[in-house]
Amino acid sequence: MKVNITRYGTKGVLLQWPPIIDEGILSKMTHLIDTIKEEDNILDIHHAYHEVLIQYRNTIQNFNQLKQNLQAALLKHKKVKPTQTTHWTIPVCYDDDFVPDLERYLDRKEIRLSELIALHTRPTYTVYFTGFLPGFLYLGTLDDKLAINRKSKPSRLIKAGTVAIGGTQTGIYPQDSPGGWYGIGYTPISFFNPRLPILTWAKPGDKISFESVEKDRILHIKRAIRKGDYTIKSEKYEG
């Protein structure tokens, strides 16, 4: 698979795979990042579906050399120990007490709440990357039947914990934010905490499923989280 390597500003390099959402590309990007991330001259690396952006500490002097090194790193079938991935199950309450948009979403899609819940909780979603907000996970892929155009006028406030649908994507707002997606559910699970040594529990390549729970149970989970005695349901496997 051809990878296009170009400069990005004075200190950046961009690696581009074909523009598709694909787990094979995700694992190639993750492999490259694992291979090079300890290099001293690299300040930061982040990626989206099909592009990796490397920021170097200093202005790039010899791009051709850098490019060759990256091409070599891409070909390196370094024996990296198989990464352990985790399948997380997120409790969600699909109830308009938590999400003011739910009614509007169901009306516009002309589907029943039970159908929405069935179609939204059925897939196993792959975590592709984090972007938009700290801890906002880009997940693939939503059932086509649930896709809806984003609001033409974004809402001023979508509450932290809102599970939402926008276009063909679904995701969870990790903090209060304006946004153009339709809120369809609520989870009390936190996706990012800058005050903890491990900022987030989910990483690219992990899997996520949603589980429908009643309002009482959600409030119970919320209390348990506050007391620090709640663990997200998860299952580990060698990826």
Partner 1 sequence: MKAKLKIIHAGTFASIQDKGRSSYAKYGVPRSGFIDKKSAQRINKILGNKQNAAVLEWTQIGPILQFTKATQIVLSDTTNKTTLNGEPLRAKEIIEVPEGGLLNLGYNPKVVYSYLAIKEGFQTKRVLQSRSMQKGITKSDLLHSKSKLYYQAQQLKISFFKKPTFSLHQPFTDLLARTIDCFPGPEFDLLTEDELQGLEQYFTLSTQRNRMGIQLTELLPNALPSMLSVPILPGTVQLTPSGKLIVLSQDCQTTGGYPRILHLPEKSLAQLSQTTQNVRFRFNIIDYD
Output Rg (C-alpha) for the chain, integer angstroms: 20
CB 70 within 8 A of CB 15: yes
- Give CA–CA dist 116/165, Å, rounded: 11
Q: Which residues make beta-bridge pairs with 197?
A: none
Q: What is the binding site for partner 1 (CB under 8 A)?
A: 6-10, 12, 14, 16, 19-21, 43-53, 55, 63, 129-136, 138, 174-175, 192, 194-195, 199-200
Q: How far is the CB of 106 from partner 1 (least distance, A)?
A: 26
Phi and psi angles of residue 156, each rounded to the nearest 5 degrees, phi first: -70, -35
Q: How far is the CB of 28 from partner 1 (least distance, A)?
A: 16
CB 68 within 8 A of CB 106: no
Comparing CB distances to partner 1, the nearer of 49 and 230 is 49
Comparing CB distances to partner 1, the nearer of 121 and 175 is 175
Q: Where are the beta strands (DSSP E) in 114-228?
A: 125-130, 137-140, 155-158, 162-166, 169-172, 177-179, 182-186, 207-212
Comparing CB distances to partner 1, the nearer of 54 and 92 is 54
Q: How far is the CB of 9 from partner 1 (least distance, A)?
A: 5
Comparing CB distances to partner 1, the nearer of 48 and 117 is 48
Comparing CB distances to partner 1, the nearer of 129 and 210 is 129
Q: How far is the CB of 7 from partner 1 (least distance, A)?
A: 5
Q: 67-103: buried (b, 16+ CB within 10 Å) or exposed (e) per residue? A: beebeebbeeeeeeeeeebbebbbbbbbbbebbebbe
Q: How far is the CB of 65 from partner 1 (least distance, A)?
A: 14
Find where tokens 């290099």 sit.
Answer: 39
Comparing CB distances to partner 1, the nearer of 131 and 154 is 131
Q: How far is the CB of 41 from partner 1 (least distance, A)?
A: 13
